[in-house]
Amino acid sequence: MSNPGRILIVDDSRTIRIKLKKSVEALGHQAAAVDSGRAALELLATENFDLILLDIIMPVMDGFEVLKNLKVSSRTRDVPVIVISALDDEMSSVVKAIELGAEDFLPKDFELALLKARVSTCIEKKRLRDIEKEYLRQVTKLTKAAATLESGRFNPSKLGIRDVAGRPDGLGKLATVFATMAQQVYDRERKMRQNIRTFRGALLLLACGGLWGLVVPLSKMASLVEAHPIGLALLIDVIGAVFCIGISMKRQTMPRFADLTRSDWKFILILAFISSVINQVLVYWLASKLPAFIVSIVIVLEGFAVFLFASLMRTEAPNLRRFLGLGLGLAGIFIILLYGEPAEMATSWLWLAIALVIPITYATEDIYLSEYKPAAIDSVALFGITLVASVLMLMPLAAFYRDFIPFDLLTGRLGMIVVLMAVAGNLAMLLFIALISSTGAVFASQNAYAVTAAGIGWSMLLLGEAIPALTWVSLALIVVGLLMVEPKQEAEEEPPLFDDTSEEFVPQLLSSPTE
């Protein structure tokens, strides 16, 4: 006997139901019996059967209506049906039932051998049909995977062809070859996208560094006219706020304040405090106390600070090489603190020590931007609102310390310096937000390299500052240490899950010709 199947018996006659059920079970099959067509359809909606033995003449819903409902549903259209008939008076009904999709007929006064032959034949045909459907379904999955491969936006492990590759036949071998090829294409495309993103990030990084490197010597030049660190930060933020909000309103990307959530306002206020009240004022204040190139060199420690914070937050894996790099960088800074400063600055070690706060606050800003920036708000609009908040914070400080810049000074050289600082600083911050959003805090912290290099260059060009040879050696030590810290490769965003609903694509040739 072939493998046993599940058979549904549908007949309004209790005697026929009992006879058929016992006969089917005697053949080794499982059987379920119902007394109406409606009950049969309800049972078929929740359970699977390999064969239906269906009476034609029944009250309420006859066998023809049941057949029509079976062939409409994709769940039941391929279940074979044998109609039960009395040969003398129902032959025309049998013909109609076969035209509606029935496989065969069986007289009510049947022989067990005839029942066995017809049941076995129908169940075997259904099994072969199921195998064919599964084969064509897997061919469709493989075809769909090939189409997805052409798009270049896929993940080989989620193409949904692992079960196809497990087949022992030729289709399985083809799927295995395809999966191998897809993995190779994926690795190549992913590497190319990473290279493009890294190149784009490097350009942004250099642009940020060049602009921010200009801010330190310009703030030194402003302090030589008259030192007003809080007033300078206030004026630069006012210019930046007008510029950013104006652009956002023109682009219609400015959110309504009422639409901002509590977490949005929390991010804006904290960023305004870190970026303007602490970072800007600290840099402008120390630029009036130290040579601009010294402040620029100290900024390079931002990369070390970000790595240290990331390690403590367990977003980076610490190792011995990285900690050795951190030690080299700190050694370079201490050499500058102790021996590398110009002779006229030999008594300013306290200011140099205070300057070490700069990379810590910069690193805090990097981590905070990377982890908490609201994704739904446009970057220019977000920065504009942040600058408004920082202006509101700086105004009482400027009033308390009487640190407003006199208007008569703004009409001369200082006014031009302030405008240049506003353009360079605010544009650099916008680029940095874009950089940190796409590459993360660790990669973006390499901006410290460019800031230091540009700061030294601008200091020599604009201020004529001479840098001692020992400072160059110390700077080289810092660079080697930062290279040993080796910021991690930022993970590529994973492509969306491959849609595995391929059953709807199975060719309609599987449908019965009589449908």
The full set of domains in the chain, from first to last, is 6-130 (3.40.50.2300), 133-186 (no CATH), 201-485 (no CATH)
- Partners of 10 in the β-ladder: 34, 54
Phi, psi of 68 (to 5 degrees): -60, -45
d(CA 328, CA 477): 6
At residue 156, the pLDDT reads 65
The tokens describing 289, both together, are: 């106390």
At residue 386, the pLDDT reads 94
Provide the residue type at 43 as one letter: L
At residue 9, the pLDDT reads 93
Q: Residue written as tokens 């800003």?
A: 365
At residue 151, the pLDDT reads 65
d(CA 499, CA 492): 20
d(CA 385, CA 398): 20
At residue 272, the pLDDT reads 93
By DSSP bridging, strand 30-34 and strand 51-55 are unpaired
For 214, 248, 300, 485, the CA distances from 304, given in Å and listed in that order, are 22, 35, 8, 7
H-helix or E-strand spanning residue 104: strand 104-107
The burial class, CB within 10 Å (0-12 / 13-18 / 19+), for 110 is middle
pTM of the model: 0.56
For 213, 216, 222, 418, 460, the CA distances from 463, given in Å and listed in that order, are 13, 11, 12, 16, 6
Contact predicate 49/78, CB 8 Å: no
- Partners of 8 in the β-ladder: 32, 52
Under-50 pLDDT residues of the chain: 343-347, 487-515
At residue 493, the pLDDT reads 47
How many CA within 13 A on the CB side of residue 91? 3
At residue 443, the pLDDT reads 63
At residue 10, the pLDDT reads 92
Contact predicate 368/274, CB 8 Å: yes
At residue 82, the pLDDT reads 92
d(CA 145, CA 149): 6
At residue 238, the pLDDT reads 93
Would you give the end-to-end CA distance of the chain in angstroms?
31
The burial class, CB within 10 Å (0-12 / 13-18 / 19+), for 111 is exposed
For 132, 161, 429, the CA distances from 137, given in Å and listed in that order, are 8, 11, 53
At residue 385, the pLDDT reads 95
At residue 498, the pLDDT reads 41
Contacts (Cβ under 8 Å, ≥6 apart) of 150:
none
SS3 412: coil
Provide the residue type at 297 as one letter: I
d(CA 223, CA 218): 9
